[in-house]
Amino acid sequence: MRKSTGRRFLLAGNWKMHATRPETTALIDGIKEAAAKARDRDVLVAPPFTALETAARALVGTTIGLAAQNLHTEPKGAFTGEIAGEMLKDVGCGWVIVGHSERRQYCNETNELVRLKIDAALRAGLTPIVCIGETLREREADNTLPVIERQVREGLAGLSRDAVKNLVIAYEPVWAIGTGKTATPEQAEEAHGAIRRLLREFAGETGAESIRILYGGSVKADNVDALMAQPNIDGALVGGASLDTTAFSRIIAFQ
């Protein structure tokens, strides 16, 4: 286990386009015990929009937080099929994932759009979990750090120091999401360390040290301990394994 940094670990389950309302209740029931025992770390789940209200009811009396997977840049308007931060707050969300690589890839979300969504989340009183990460082609071209730097600089441009300190960053190498491949602890730590150094420009030395940086990318029960032992890895954004209550409970209870 790493030395104490003062930052609480955060284990977040991103369910993506999975889980009906009955399945949502079952998934939450399956991790309640593990979450209750995890007194020194935070746990949250991010169900699809249709299951958020069900999840909010199922989470009453627990310490598990509720996140949404996306939001629109505007607080209201003629945007068919979209959802506003105020609506997410109203249903019980405290968090929202912004700029996930799947949205960047399939929905053409740019760093500039991510910046607007961060603003929208903060205005609604939500904590944004801002996703960044490189593709396999970019890693093989030795462009990991330049790509990360560009995503951070353009995504956080113009934000105040106080605003940046309220963010969570999730480093997710695109080549490791849903592929079964995982960055080695050393690869992940290198990226996390670079992100934290960059955050000093936006939040100051003390602020950067307080920001949680999560790792995402095929996090599993059998690799979580080594990843969480790294000094700049403050938790995990978990995809597929969060749909398996046994696996996610083990991740929550990492040693």
Q: Is 72 a known active-site residue?
A: no
Does residue 41 contact residue 235 with C-beta atoms inside 8 Å? yes
Rounded to 10 deg, the angle between the 245-252 and 21-37 helix axes is 30
| Selected catalytic residue, list 102, 109, 138, 172 | 172
Mode of pairing for the β-strands spanning 168-171 and 9-14: unpaired
Mark 20-46 as b/e (b = at least 16 C-beta within 10 Å). ebeebbebbeebbebbeebeebbbbbb
Rounded to a whole number, what is the largest CA-CA distance in the chain? 50
| Number of alpha carbons in the 13 Å side-chain half-sphere of residue 60 | 6
Query: Cα-Cα-Cα-Cα dihedral of 35, 129, 239, 112, to 10°?
Result: 170
The contacts of residue 175 (CB under 8 Å, 6+ apart) are: 134, 135, 136, 139, 181, 217
Question: Look-up: residue for tokens 């945007």?
Answer: 79
Among residues 100, 102, 109, 134, which one is catalytic?
Answer: 100
Find where tokens 């707050």 sit.
Answer: 89
Whether 18 sits among the annotated catalytic residues: the reply is: no
Count of Cβ atoms closer than 10 Å to residue 232 Cβ: 22
Q: Terminus-to-terminus CA distance in the chain, angstroms?
A: 7
So which residues are the catalytic ones? 100, 172
